[in-house]
Amino acid sequence: MCCIELYWAAWHGHDAQALVSLYALDGVYQDPLTDKPLKGMAIGMHARTFWEALPDLRFALTETLRADGLIAVAWTLNGVCTGMWQGLPPSGRTICLPGATHFQIVQRRIRSVQSYFDVKTLLEQLDF
């Protein structure tokens, strides 16, 4: 498996250690909910907020584009909010959130991940 397949497997397996191990030493992650790029175990801790709120979280990957160490993946995040979301109680609502993730890969390691999704849509779907 390549590191991108392992990345999605770690997300689906709720495996923070496996997720973080795919990054280069200077690798970073950022999405609309992070106020700055995350490094190391902060990446795993951020993923855990999603796993706690959406224990059945799955990314349906719809398109992948590759060029010279850059990979773009379009996806839809699906799950039911049966856990706490950043201190808020479970809403029981189903999430179907479209988004995309851009990867920069160097020597089979993730140098950067930038995920894009609409926070307003996420919060509306969570009923917050």
Q: What is the CATH number of the domain that holds 77?
A: 3.10.450.50
List pLDDT tens digits, range 103-117: 999 999 999 999 999
Determine contact, residues 46/38, Cβ cutoff 8 Å: yes
Residue 27: burial class (beta carbons within 10 Å; 0-12, 13-18, 19+):
buried
Residue type, 15: D
Containing H/E element for 10? helix 3-12
- Domain with 69 in it: 3-126
Our count of domains for the chain comes to 1
- Could you count the other beta carbons within 10 Å of the beta carbon of residue 71? 20
Return mean pLDDT, the chain.
96
128 vs 14: which has the higher pLDDT: 14
Indicate the burial class of 73 (C-beta count within 10 angstroms; 0-12, 13-18, 19 or more).
buried
CA nearest neighbour of 81 among 58, 50, 60? 50
Tens digit of pLDDT for each residue in 45-72?
Answer: 999 999 999 999 999 999 999 998 899 9
